[in-house]
Homo-oligomer: A and B are copies of this chain.
Amino acid sequence: MTTLDIRSDVTVQLVDHNLSDKAVVRAARVSTVGQTHNNPTEDADRDAGLINYLMRERHGSPFEHGSLTLFVEAPIFVFREWQRHRIASYNEESARYRELRPVFYLPAADRNLVQVGKPGAYRLKPGTAEQLAFVDCELLNAYEAAYEAYERMLVAGIAREIARAALPVGIYSSMYVTMNPRGLMNFLSLRTHREDAAFVSNPQREIEMCAEKAEAIFAELMPVTHAAFEANGRVAP
């Protein structure tokens, strides 16, 4: 019998990128100055001011020059949400081409479990210890039953693409995703919950966990742009 690998976290790793705050400034300055990329002068304050101006005034195109590739491991229900973002590039593990590994999601102890309010405006609050234990037990049993059925079908010679119909959306998949800074900020804006944002989004916690990791990477690679994003209500330009 297969032992399940249980996770409550997600993986978001930087794979490749050519992002920089300088690329934003360079692209923006072409409109008023012409070619700027050989310009050796530097004025960090002036650059930061320009980036903040672009963000505030929704001049979005200078934030598109460059790309960030991330490697992501998360449950399929997270991928279902992420891949609705169309200004991005994806390659994902295929359940037609390979056997999926038995890695499954359980909520961590601090995950809010109980729904309050109506669709479109609901909030979650903590569950009791009993509820958490109940969820763990139910999900584990369902995962085990599904994965065992999956394996038995594969052993019986059934095609992977059919056998996988039994697998739950709580199983982990993996993908490479590539975005430009503008697309990434749009993703962060919609997939993080911040009470102080200009628009308060209510993403599911699990995709927000991905977004938070992606945002930490972004903030390190483009600190000035990220600060301007924060300072302007976390609205993608």
Contacts and interface: CB of A to CB of B under 8 A. Distances in A.
Interface of A: 15-18, 23, 26-28, 30-35, 37, 53, 57-58, 61-62, 64-67, 69, 71, 73, 75-77, 79-80, 83-84, 86-87, 89-98, 101, 105, 107, 111-115, 119-120, 124, 127, 131, 134-135, 138-139, 141-143, 145-146, 149-150, 152-153, 156-170, 174-176, 178, 180, 190, 199, 201, 204
Contacts of A199: 57-58
A49 to B, nearest CB: 11
B65 A66 contact: no
A120 to B, nearest CB: 7
A184 to B, nearest CB: 13
B18 A67 contact: yes
18 contacts: A18-B66, A18-B67, A26-B176, A30-B92, A30-B175, A34-B98, A34-B101, A65-B67, A66-B178, A67-B180, A80-B80, A98-B119, A114-B158, A127-B158, A134-B156, A135-B153, A135-B158, A142-B145
Given A15-B37, A89-B61, A94 B31 contact: yes
Contacts of A96: 119, 204
